Amino acid sequence: MSKVNFFLKEPKLKDETLVYLFFSYNNQRLKYSTGEKIKPDYWSSESQRAKETKKFPEYPELNARLSFIQTQVNNAYRKILNDGEIPSNKLIKEELDKTVRFGEAKKEYDLFSFISKYIEECKPIKSSGTIKAYNTTFAKIKDYRTNIRKNFSFDDIDLEFYNSFIAYLIELDFSQNTIGKHIKVLKTFLNEATERGINKTVEFKKRRFKALSEITDKIYLNTEELERMYNLKLSNDKQLESIRDLFIIGCFTGLRFSDFSELKRDNIIDGNMIKIRTNKTNDLVIIPLHKYVREIIRKYNGNIPKALSNPKMNINLKHLGTLAKINEFVEVSITKGGKLVKNSVKKSSLICTHTARRSFATNTYLAGIPSITIMKMTGHTTEKSFLRYIRISQEENAKKLLDNPFFK
């Protein structure tokens, strides 16, 4: 038995969003972009059609179009059965492409014009950081085209392209993680083009076409170091004091900079918990307040200090680390330009806003709090992604194990 449903791509948007067709059959499901767009306010999730309202006078045409597409997908399914073939997403999509000509499919987009258009579409709905990452990767793709003195299209994005593009990024002396981020963003572009029926090449989905990554020597601040920073006398520099206090809040809540920098009085529940919906993942997290956080909140009468920009915060945090005498030398290694590079640097020079989240995860883990409990506060959905935040030395790991009954 087959079933057709229509859903909005971004049902919470205020602006227009794509309408997707979902065709369920034989325990399989095809997701197919109709190319049609509508504001969620004008959409009925019950009827899966546009509302009959004067505010959206185009509703008859849109609904007729969706009904036509529904008929075509059912016809495609029956045709495949009548031809004696086993229905599959690939076969149904091929049949649909023959009869359904819509939205993006009407226009011939090359790789570069599509990426440019997609980035513009994302500006109202994605964070500024995401748009910056998109633009940076797009610039590198265009630079690569200039470097090889040859244009390329969707059809050219294969494993040979992948190896050549990575070799180019290595020549630019990029770290492995930076290269991985560019590949990840490129795959985002290609996935979106594929969903819209613009890209027909799926080489980028192969296992070898992967985003490279490596675990870097990111630091965390232990509880003794955080105590030293918290106890610094900074009353003669109010701005530095508020930066320190805001950072301490991050270190004892595990929130990202984008979240702890926007905390408001309304996020404080009963004076002992923080309740906030995170910016990056839209997850609701509830975090009990550490005594330092409670003291800081009382200090500012519930008005959390305002943050400077992330780069300015990072400069001041390194200075705070020096004042707190967090000056031990640590060895950091990173694959850069295809070579492993090792350096010994002062720990204070590595402190940044994200050190707060890493410190919270590591310190709570060392305190014996179960991973699943910490993940409820950090918003991590998998233990694998959570464990990337844990930064403990071999010695710290051994000390933690000494409390295990096995070693008694």
Consecutive H or E run containing 178: helix 176-195
Which residues does 245 contact at the CB level (< 8 Å), separation at least 6?
A: 296, 299, 300, 305
Render 111-125 in DSSP notation, one character per residue: HHHHHHHHHHHHTTT
pLDDT at 106: 42
pLDDT in 10s for each residue of the chain, 408 residues:
789 999 998 888 888 888 999 999 988 999 988 888 899 999 999 999 999 888 888 888 888 889 889 988 999 999 999 988 999 988 998 888 877 754 444 445 689 989 998 898 888 777 788 899 999 999 999 999 999 988 899 999 999 999 999 999 999 989 888 999 999 999 999 999 988 888 888 899 999 999 987 766 578 999 999 999 999 999 899 999 999 999 999 999 999 998 999 999 999 998 899 999 988 777 899 999 999 999 999 999 988 888 999 899 999 999 999 999 998 988 776 777 677 777 788 999 999 999 999 999 999 998 889 989 999 999 888 888 887 778 766 666 677 677 767 676
Q: Which residues contact 323 (CB under 8 A, 6 or more apart)?
A: 229, 232
Domains contained in the chain, CATH given: 3-106 (no CATH), 111-205 (1.10.150), 223-407 (1.10.443.10)
Could you tell me which residues come within 8 angstroms of residue 20 by beta carbon, excluding any fewer than 6 positions away? 6, 7, 8, 9, 31, 32, 33, 34
Task: Determine contact, residues 218/54, Cβ cutoff 8 Å.
Answer: no
Cα(349)–Cα(31) distance, integer angstroms = 48
Q: 330 has which bridge partners?
A: 345
What is residue 108's predicted lDDT score, i.e. its pLDDT? 55
Of 104, 207, 108, residue with least CA distance to 159: 207
pLDDT at 59: 86
pLDDT for 252 equals 97
Per DSSP, the residues of 320-363 read HHHHTT---EEEEEEEETTEEEEEEEEGGGG--HHHHHHHHHHH
Query: What was the pLDDT predicted at 233?
Result: 95
Q: What is the pLDDT of residue 186?
A: 97
User: What is the structure's pLDDT at 236?
Assistant: 92
Give me the pLDDT at residue 337, please: 67
For residue 389, the model assigns a pLDDT of 75
This prediction's pTM: 0.59
State the DSSP code for 175: B
- C-alpha distances (whole Å) from 21 to each of 49, 68, 238, 338 are 11, 12, 56, 44
pLDDT for position 105: 43
> Six-digit token pair at 350?
């590595």
Considering only CA atoms, which of 383, 304, 387, 391 is closest in space to residue 351? 391
Burial-class residue 287 by CB neighbours within 10 Å (0-12, 13-18, 19+): buried
Pairing mode, strands 3-8 and 49-50: unpaired
Output the DSSP codes for 121-167.
Answer: HHTTTS-HHHHHHHHHHHHHHHHHHHHHT----GGG-SHHHHHHHHH
Supply the pLDDT for residue 198.
86
